[in-house]
Chain A
Amino acid sequence: MATRDFELGLNSFGEVASDGGRTLSDAETVRLIVEEARLAESVGLDAFSVGEHYREGHNDSATPVLLAAIATATDRIQLGTSVTVLSTNDPVRLYQEFSTVDAISNGRAQVVLGRASATESFPLFGYDLTDYERLFEEKLELFMRLQREDSVTWSGTVRAPLVEQRLHPRMRPGGIPTWIGVGGSPDSVVRAARYGLPLMMAVIGGRPQRFAGHVELYHRALEQFGHPAQPVGQHSLGLVAETDEEAIETWWPYWQPLVAQLARERGFYKPTRERYEAELDQGALFVGSPDTVARKIATVARDLRLSRFDLKYDILHLPRDARARTIELLGREVAPRVRELLAKEPIHV
């Protein structure tokens, strides 16, 4: 792959920011995200993606609405999701919403479909967590058919049947770029390959290189299913500042409580300082100076044969200045440095 094709993006989970010690309101945060997407475009980043969450402090519950607003505030940057919780959404509405975003953005919409690591959406929308697998499988099949076929007749167990249904507004022929987001399940990797869809891996703890087996499995499965090669991307958390020390000390007080909460809710590891340093050094945190972060991204890009890396830059209550600086440095310094490093030693897929 040509190194100029390597794409760098940003992910937001709609997390409330602070400003001079004051916590922003939900509405202020929503508008901040639009500003940040505009900044991302102005510093040359390739993609801006928004998640879908249903908990306090997160303002990304209506992802397509946010993306549509960003669409008219920008001209060039690709607009995606990180991730869209397909299991608890209706593929018909999703088609309509993303077709609309694609129209408004002149063809810049993408979607990453996932099963979500947070589970709030299941009780909120009346789904049973025990149907997790079936919901995703059936809805993926329907969503892809809606995108690839003109008129769809479908029946299944997770929504009402459709008879020769043609949806509006029509999407561009073949649909929008659709990725599958995976956390670590080999079944999900094989499913992405079965549909011939690109793979986005959420690597939020531990050494990214442990995903090498998944990448291997994905490429092998794509071949076996007879699909052409597809891009693989990685999403991880991080912050860029002028120096390593500044980045590390800025991130720590926001990262520690987040992981402590995830440890309580989902059995994550305990966020000790020792663990923090291990994550910075060898693990999944992309926190540091532009040079440190660029080296780290280039290394995983090579080791995992990535063609895209998305940095999740927002974390609850992080000052808006620190968020803006991450975006600026990622676009102006990290991205060119990553491309330079990859040009010296190209990735072979």
Chain B
Amino acid sequence: MSDLVFGLDTFGDVPEDDSGAPVSYAAAIRQVVDEAILADEIGVDVLALGEHHRPEFSVSTPETVLAGIATRTSRIRLSSGVTVLSSDDPVRVFQRFATLDALSHGRAEVILGRGSFTESFPLFGYDLSDYEVLFEEKIELFARLLEEKPVTWSGTVRAPLENADVFPKTESGRLTTWVGVGGSPQSVVRTARFGLPLMLAIIGGAPERFAPYIELYRRAAEELGTIAHPVGMHSPGFIADTDEEAREVFWPRYRVMRDRIGALRGWPAIRREEYDREIESGSLYIGSPETVARKIARAVAALGVGRFDLIYTAGTQPISARLRAVELYGTKVIPMVRDILAG
């Protein structure tokens, strides 16, 4: 278990400053850069940034922020989480991440997904009814681009390519590429079909209920004759010095965010009991380093995953509390999880 990979994941939520006022978007982006530099120093393995097109989040172009992080860090892997491939162009995505890979001496990773939000579809002129065909065709084209040879391709979702060679080329010859999946068995099978590693978004309920997806991924890879890579999971959480502090800093701000998004999706308002239950037995990794480490170790062992990414922001959690959460994750939680799993 020593090769277990630990990541931090954020969408660049706009935080509060010390007076409780939201900072500017520009300051929110620079905050992510500062947190990444800290994470790199204290031994976090991966920093992942999600692509969103909503006012709560400052990151709409993860690779641009990751490039800013690349020149200030030396070890941490730089990932998206996720890149909404369906509403982007695979050629551009490849170019941007190959450039990031060069800038970071091979530390770039892209996690391709369909996105759990849908804002990018109208924004970039795509129809939600094409959700399936957009992802299917684009991932197929992206898989071809990953070979780094001239590509001839035609389909319905972008202009055809005829012997198109795309630059820059990577040093390793292959850009690290994952597929992010929320809960669709079909997406799991597709990921296995392309022989790509699987990142599961587990954002509510007991993590154990995702075991069948991992089993499906392994079985599908075996049947299709592709490689089943170690599976990753990403879940939300927050760490403070005590359980109580973590819960109380997170709750009011999380609640606002959760209810705003819930309103769009027809969810009832979240109650405190649900919040506490998610912390006890669900998918909120909130508490002191000991509490969070025990919970992560349990989930990792139950699912047999090779990577755990903590989404450490969900709402306007203040800058100082965020930095402390990053620090505790790197300096305390990660070594504790390793100890528990080795024990």
A126 with B25, Cβ < 8 A, contacts A93-B61, A169-B58 known: no
Instruction: From A26, A27, A124, name the one whose CB has the most chain B CB atoms within 10 angstroms.
Output: A27
Closest CB in chain A relative to B204 CB, distance in Å: 25
Q: How long is the Cα–Cα vector from A169 to B96 in the complex, in angstroms?
A: 19
> Which residue from chain B places its CB closest to the CB of A163 in the assembled complex?
B122
B91 touches A125 (CB 8 A): yes
Report which of B30, B61, B99, B122 forms a contact with A30, defined as CB distance below 8 A.
Answer: B99
Q: Fill in one digit per residue for A22-51: 1 if any B CB lies within 8 Å of its CB, else 0.
A: 000111111100100000000000000000
B60 touches A26 (CB 8 A): no
B102 touches A72 (CB 8 A): no
- CB of A66 within 8 A of chain B? yes
A27 touches B123 (CB 8 A): no
Closest CB in chain B relative to A42 CB, distance in Å: 15
- B-side contacts of A102, CB under 8 Å: 26
- CB of A221 within 8 A of chain B? no
Q: How long is the Cα–Cα vector from A162 to B159 in the complex, in angstroms?
A: 22
> Which residue from chain B places its CB closest to the CB of A89 in the assembled complex?
B92
Closest CB in chain A relative to B100 CB, distance in Å: 6
> Which residue from chain B places its CB closest to the CB of A162 in the assembled complex?
B123
Q: Fill in one digit per residue for A150-178: 1 if any B CB lies within 8 Å of its CB, else 0.
A: 00000000011010011111101000000
> Which residue from chain A places its CB closest to the CB of B57 in the assembled complex?
A168
- CB of A78 within 8 A of chain B? no
Q: How long is the Cα–Cα vector from A31 to B171 in the complex, in angstroms?
A: 12
Interface size on B, residues (CB 8 A): 58
Closest CB in chain A relative to B280 CB, distance in Å: 34
A55 touches B60 (CB 8 A): no
- A-side contacts of B53, CB under 8 Å: 167-168
- B-side contacts of A30, CB under 8 Å: 99, 102-103, 168
Report which of A34, A125, A162 forms a contact with B103, defined as CB distance below 8 A.
Answer: A34
A26 touches B168 (CB 8 A): yes
- A-side contacts of B123, CB under 8 Å: 92, 160, 162, 165
Report which of B65, B105, B168 forms a contact with A104, defined as CB distance below 8 A.
Answer: B65
Among A59-79, those with CB < 8 Å from B are: 59, 61-62, 64-66, 68-73
B29 touches A126 (CB 8 A): no
Q: How long is the Cα–Cα vector from A73 to B67 in the complex, in angstroms?
A: 10
Closest CB in chain A relative to B166 CB, distance in Å: 8
B64 touches A101 (CB 8 A): yes
B57 touches A104 (CB 8 A): no
- CB of A274 within 8 A of chain B? no
A104 with B68, Cβ < 8 A, contacts A124-B161, A160-B124 known: yes
Q: How long is the Cα–Cα vector from A99 to B58 in the complex, in angstroms?
A: 10
- B-side contacts of A62, CB under 8 Å: 63, 92, 95-96, 98-100
A100 with B60, Cβ < 8 A, contacts A25-B169, A124-B161 known: yes
Q: How long is the Cα–Cα vector from A123 to B102 in the complex, in angstroms?
A: 26
Q: How long is the Cα–Cα vector from A14 to B99 in the complex, in angstroms?
A: 11
Closest CB in chain B relative to A160 CB, distance in Å: 3
- CB of A187 within 8 A of chain B? no
- A-side contacts of B40, CB under 8 Å: none
- CB of A97 within 8 A of chain B? yes
- A-side contacts of B67, CB under 8 Å: 65-66, 68-69
Among B75-119, those with CB < 8 Å from A are: 89, 91-92, 95-96, 98-103, 105-106
- A-side contacts of B100, CB under 8 Å: 62, 65
- A-side contacts of B70, CB under 8 Å: 69
B103 touches A166 (CB 8 A): no
A100 with B167, Cβ < 8 A, contacts A61-B95, A169-B28 known: no
- CB of B179 within 8 A of chain A? no
- CB of A90 within 8 A of chain B? yes
- CB of B170 within 8 A of chain A? yes
B60 touches A96 (CB 8 A): yes
Q: Fill in one digit per residue for B9-53: 1 if any A CB lies within 8 Å of its CB, else 0.
A: 000100000000000111111100100000000000000000011
> Which residue from chain B places its CB closest to the CB of A90 in the assembled complex?
B124
Among A82-117, those with CB < 8 Å from B are: 90, 92-93, 96-97, 99-104, 106-107
Instruction: From A14, A55, A93, A172, name the one whose CB has the most chain B CB atoms within 10 angstroms.
Output: A93
Q: How long is the Cα–Cα vector from A55 to B92 in the complex, in angstroms?
A: 14
Closest CB in chain B relative to A236 CB, distance in Å: 25
A166 with B55, Cβ < 8 A, contacts A62-B63, A64-B64, A68-B65 known: yes
- A-side contacts of B96, CB under 8 Å: 62, 65
A100 touches B29 (CB 8 A): yes
- CB of A225 within 8 A of chain B? no
- CB of B165 within 8 A of chain A? yes
Q: How long is the Cα–Cα vector from A253 to B26 in the complex, in angstroms?
A: 45
> Which residue from chain A places its CB closest to the CB of B170 in the assembled complex?
A27
A172 with B103, Cβ < 8 A, contacts A71-B68, A166-B55 known: no
- CB of A269 within 8 A of chain B? no
> Which residue from chain A places its CB closest to the CB of B172 in the assembled complex?
A27
Closest CB in chain A relative to B200 CB, distance in Å: 27
Q: How long is the Cα–Cα vector from A56 to B166 in the complex, in angstroms?
A: 8
- A-side contacts of B68, CB under 8 Å: 68-69, 71-72, 104
A160 with B65, Cβ < 8 A, contacts A73-B71, A124-B161 known: no
- A-side contacts of B30, CB under 8 Å: 103-104, 106
Q: How long is the Cα–Cα vector from A34 to B102 in the complex, in angstroms?
A: 11
- CB of A268 within 8 A of chain B? no
Closest CB in chain B relative to A247 CB, distance in Å: 29
A31 touches B29 (CB 8 A): no
B71 touches A65 (CB 8 A): no
Q: How long is the Cα–Cα vector from A65 to B78 in the complex, in angstroms?
A: 13
Among A118-171, those with CB < 8 Å from B are: 123-127, 159-160, 162, 165-170
A100 touches B61 (CB 8 A): yes
Closest CB in chain A relative to B195 CB, distance in Å: 24
Report which of A28, A72, A92, A96 forms a contact with B72, defined as CB distance below 8 A.
Answer: A72
What are 11 A-B interface contacts by the 8 Å CB criterion? A26-B167, A26-B170, A27-B105, A27-B106, A31-B102, A62-B96, A65-B67, A66-B99, A72-B69, A103-B27, A104-B30
Give the top 8 A-B pairs by smallest Cβ distance, nearest first.
A126-B159, A160-B125, A169-B25, A26-B168, A27-B102, A103-B26, A30-B102, A68-B67
